[in-house]
Amino acid sequence: MTYGMQKWISIALLACAGAAAAQERPVVRVRGGSTGTMLSILDNYEPQIVGMTAAVRRDSFILAQLAAAVFALDDFQTSVAIQKAADRIDDALRRAMEKPPAPQSTVDLLNAVRDAVAHAKQQGFSADLKDLQKLIAKRTEEMQRLLFREIDEARRERQTLIDLHTRLQRLTDAIDAAMSEALASTFDSMRR
């Protein structure tokens, strides 16, 4: 190759390189505003989870009060036993009315138990505490089924959140790795 030919090839390469460098590179946007959408979905989802956890706490308290009412009826003094059971049922009803309020079926169940306890209170010493215990125990089983359904739903939601957390962590790790590589290559190019 002659010197003139090398000169023209160098000029052509510089012209092509200049034109290539002057071109605007398209920016690839992966998000497309989906971050805002994900956050709004999370904003709507969070109150549901908070409400569900509050319902589990409420219903477990109600169930504990029903069970305590059953055991309170084991007292050898009939009037004291009935009063202890009535106090437990009243506590359960108060909690059922707090936020979030219990479903109407739960309130109806508690009202039926309260009415049975009130009837036993009217009967006084002639009240059959074993029958009252059986009635409250039966209602306690109904409440257990409701609570176990709520706990199962909470367990499934928790598993979903764990899966989501794992995926988000994987995505965060990928972003961190990409940023680290970009910074490393930038520093390498500046050293040269």
For residue 83, which amino acid is it? Answer: Q
State how far the Cα of 156 lies from the Cα of 61, in Å rounded to an integer. 21
pTM of the model: 0.72
The residue range of the domain holding 79 is 50-150
Q: Is residue 64 part of a domain?
A: yes
Q: pLDDT tens digits, residue range 84-99?
A: 999 999 999 999 999 8
For residue 125, give the DSSP letter: G
30 pLDDT exceeds 70? Answer: no
Q: Is residue 156 part of a domain?
A: no
Domain count, the chain: 1
Q: Is residue 67 part of a domain?
A: yes
Write the CATH number for 66.
Answer: 1.20.120
**For residue 122, which of 83, 93, 92 has the smallest C-alpha distance?**
83
Residue with tokens 């605007």: 24
Helix (H, G, I), strand (E, B) or coil at 17: helix
Q: pLDDT tens digits, residue range 92-151?
A: 999 999 989 999 999 999 999 999 999 999 998 888 999 999 999 999 999 999 999 999
